[in-house]
A and B are shown apart, each in its own frame.
Chain A
Amino acid sequence: MSEEKNRILKISILRFDPNDPEDFPHMQTFEIEEAHGMTLFIALNEIREHHDNSLKFDFVCRAGICGSCSMLVNGTPTLACKTLTSKLGVNISLAPLPLFKLIGDLSVYTGQWMRYLNQHLETWIHNREKELNVDKLEERMEPELADEIYELERCIECGCCVAGCGTIQMRQEFIGAVGLNKVARYHLDPRDKRSDEEYYNLIGNEDGVFGCMSLLGCEDVCPKSLPLQVKIAYLRRMMIKTSMK
């Protein structure tokens, strides 16, 4: 019986602790034996367990739902838990997502950026009712529309689209595909009573939809395959229409 040897993976990780004044960013390479069905998340756990227990990275769900384990894999933003090592070469480089606040090594604080974005875009239903009535039944909507809204609601705020966006690299005020996707989601929702002019004031500028340069990095790295390109085009057309009123 022939025994096929597993590959030895050389995983280079960008190490840096911003809270340690004596530390500096540097690459550290770990060699581990690849296992069948291994994901990067499993590989990172193995490194932490057997090689270096100080390695920082995030995970919660391990199923591509929470978005915590997003990182740059060979330069491309993606989720570690969804990435099979068998799809990569033996030399793998890992780095934290850029633009977000670095906690350490591969761990970044996406929540700070996302919270600001949600507050800025007011990503909640604006129904104009002065008092909240929890007993009142919600307005009905067509199943097709509900499906369309749900499709956009699948965003897990992992930050991959932000890291894959060239526009944000140059202008960090740009709200990115994650922000535009949220605006499209609320604009579609008939329960949200904001006018087109109000939406224009949110995203009708260079930090919003008119800042987008259609590089489509966001669309191509989105781990949830959200229709970002389509929704940005939709918002652009809507904003132009509003500006012509």
Chain B
Amino acid sequence: MKQIKIDKIPARLDFIQSASGLILALFMWAHMFFVSTILLGKDVMYSVTKFFEGEYFFGESYPIIVTIAAGAIFIIFIVHALVALRKFPSNYKKYAIMKNHIKSLNHTDTTLWFWQVFTGFAMFFLGSVHLYIIMTNPSEIGPYASADRVVTEWMWPLYILLLLAVEIHGSVGIYRLALKWGWFEGSDTKKSRNNLRKLKYAITIFFLTLGFLTLAAYIKIGIEHKDKAGERYHQVTKTVQQGAQQ
């Protein structure tokens, strides 16, 4: 049979958009759990930081690991943004038509798409700033270093906006991915979709709550540590134990 030539690019772009979105969303959920360890105490957060710097594997910290990881995420982030751009309204006229359609149709999933585009656009700037800082200052992560960045270096306004954008964009994105590819369809697709939507709202609320509590914890530490900004955290237990041995 004669082989028919097909243009594989549209399929690849669609796949790349979904795959990169899925990786970023899963990463963000994991990231939120890691940073929220501050709620369990400074020592726990410090241990997580050292774990990602490879201290438990190599015996000493290598912040370059954080730079490489942040760089990889940054590349996926840029690729995702690039391929997702093709779904954005390409000019003001199309934006106005879409806005009018959303208003007139008053349809939940169409409205959610608008929020996804809006938060995605916001993340071009907010996410890039954060990723660049982490990439270039990999050793500046820790109970005091992160809290100083939030308060003394005035990152809290950006983090509030970034938190809202990421959690809304991520949960709507995962929900849409499930529908787009037919995951968790089940025998009753209407019921499955309803359940997925409820799960989406629950996930958004959960991560926003966790995120704001975490941010509040860093702000509290940052304010308390303001006078000693720049000083790094050291595990108290370790120091006391070492002191006792001496």
A interface residues, how many (CB within 8 angstroms): 36
| Interface mask (A173-200 → B, CB under 8 Å = 1, otherwise 0) | 0000000000000000000000101101
Are B179 and A233 interface neighbours, CB within 8 A? yes
The verdict on B155 contacting chain A, using a C-beta distance below 8 Å, is no
Minimum C-beta distance from B159 to chain A (A): 29
The verdict on A213 contacting chain B, using a C-beta distance below 8 Å, is yes
In the complex, which residues of chain A have a beta carbon less than 8 angstroms from the beta carbon of B98? 166, 169-170
> Given A164-B107, A233-B185, A240-B11, do A170 and B6 touch, yes or no (CB 8 Å)?
no
Instruction: Give the interface segment out of B12-20, B74-82, B162-170.
Output: B12-20
The verdict on A217 contacting chain B, using a C-beta distance below 8 Å, is yes
Once the chains are docked, how many angstroms separate the CA of A239 from the CA of B87? 19
The verdict on B8 contacting chain A, using a C-beta distance below 8 Å, is yes
Q: Nearest chain-A residue to B97 (Cβ)?
A: A169
Q: Which residues 30-61 of A sit at the B interface, judged by CB distance below 8 A?
A: none
Once the chains are docked, how many angstroms separate the CA of A216 from the CA of B178? 12
Instruction: Give the interface segment out of A5-13, A15-23, A117-125, A201-209.
Output: A201-209
- Pick from A75, A204, A233, A237: contact of B105, CB below 8 A: A75
Once the chains are docked, how many angstroms separate the CA of A112 from the CA of B194? 36
Minimum C-beta distance from A217 to chain B (A): 5
Counting chain A CB atoms within 10 Å of each CB, the highest count among B11, B103, B182, B193 belongs to B11
The verdict on A215 contacting chain B, using a C-beta distance below 8 Å, is yes
Q: Which residues 98-156 of A sit at the B interface, judged by CB distance below 8 A?
A: none
The verdict on A80 contacting chain B, using a C-beta distance below 8 Å, is no
Once the chains are docked, how many angstroms separate the CA of A40 from the CA of B183? 38
> Given A72-B104, A204-B7, do A233 and B180 touch, yes or no (CB 8 Å)?
yes
The verdict on B230 contacting chain A, using a C-beta distance below 8 Å, is no
> Given A170-B98, A216-B109, A236-B14, do A197 and B4 touch, yes or no (CB 8 Å)?
yes
> Given A220-B107, A236-B14, do A195 and B185 touch, yes or no (CB 8 Å)?
no
The verdict on B86 contacting chain A, using a C-beta distance below 8 Å, is yes
The verdict on A242 contacting chain B, using a C-beta distance below 8 Å, is yes
In the complex, which residues of chain A have a beta carbon less than 8 angstroms from the beta carbon of B86? 206
The verdict on B110 contacting chain A, using a C-beta distance below 8 Å, is yes
Once the chains are docked, how many angstroms separate the CA of A233 from the CA of B18? 13
Minimum C-beta distance from B19 to chain A (A): 11
Minimum C-beta distance from B13 to chain A (A): 7
Q: Nearest chain-A residue to B106 (Cβ)?
A: A75
Counting chain A CB atoms within 10 Å of each CB, the highest count among B6, B106, B179 belongs to B6
The verdict on A76 contacting chain B, using a C-beta distance below 8 Å, is yes
Are B4 and A217 interface neighbours, CB within 8 A? no
Once the chains are docked, how many angstroms separate the CA of A239 from the CA of B6? 11
Are A236 and B113 interface neighbours, CB within 8 A? no
> Given A205-B10, A210-B11, A234-B182, do A195 and B104 touch, yes or no (CB 8 Å)?
no
Are A243 and B8 interface neighbours, CB within 8 A? yes
In the complex, which residues of chain A have a beta carbon less than 8 angstroms from the beta carbon of B1? 195
- Pick from A169, A237, A243: contact of B182, CB below 8 A: A237
Are B97 and A170 interface neighbours, CB within 8 A? yes
In the complex, which residues of chain A have a beta carbon less than 8 angstroms from the beta carbon of B90? 170
Are B11 and A239 interface neighbours, CB within 8 A? yes
Once the chains are docked, how many angstroms separate the CA of A9 from the CA of B174? 43
Once the chains are docked, how many angstroms separate the CA of A205 from the CA of B12? 10
In the complex, which residues of chain B have a beta carbon less than 8 angstroms from the beta carbon of A204? 6-7, 10-11
Are A166 and B102 interface neighbours, CB within 8 A? yes
Once the chains are docked, how many angstroms separate the CA of A210 from the CA of B8? 11
Minimum C-beta distance from B96 to chain A (A): 10
The verdict on B176 contacting chain A, using a C-beta distance below 8 Å, is yes
The verdict on B235 contacting chain A, using a C-beta distance below 8 Å, is no
Are B14 and A198 interface neighbours, CB within 8 A? no
Once the chains are docked, how many angstroms separate the CA of A72 from the CA of B104? 9
> Given A169-B98, A213-B113, A214-B179, do A198 and B4 touch, yes or no (CB 8 Å)?
yes
Once the chains are docked, how many angstroms separate the CA of A206 from the CA of B7? 11
Are B109 and A217 interface neighbours, CB within 8 A? yes
Query: Could you write out 9 A-B pairs with CB less than 8 Å apart?
Result: A72-B104, A75-B106, A195-B1, A204-B6, A204-B11, A210-B14, A236-B14, A239-B11, A240-B14
Binding site for B on A (CB under 8 A): 72, 75-76, 164, 166, 169-170, 195, 197-198, 200-201, 204-206, 210, 212-217, 220-221, 227, 229-230, 233-234, 236-237, 239-240, 242-244
9 closest Cβ contacts across the A-B interface? A233-B182, A243-B11, A75-B104, A197-B4, A214-B180, A210-B14, A243-B8, A210-B10, A216-B109
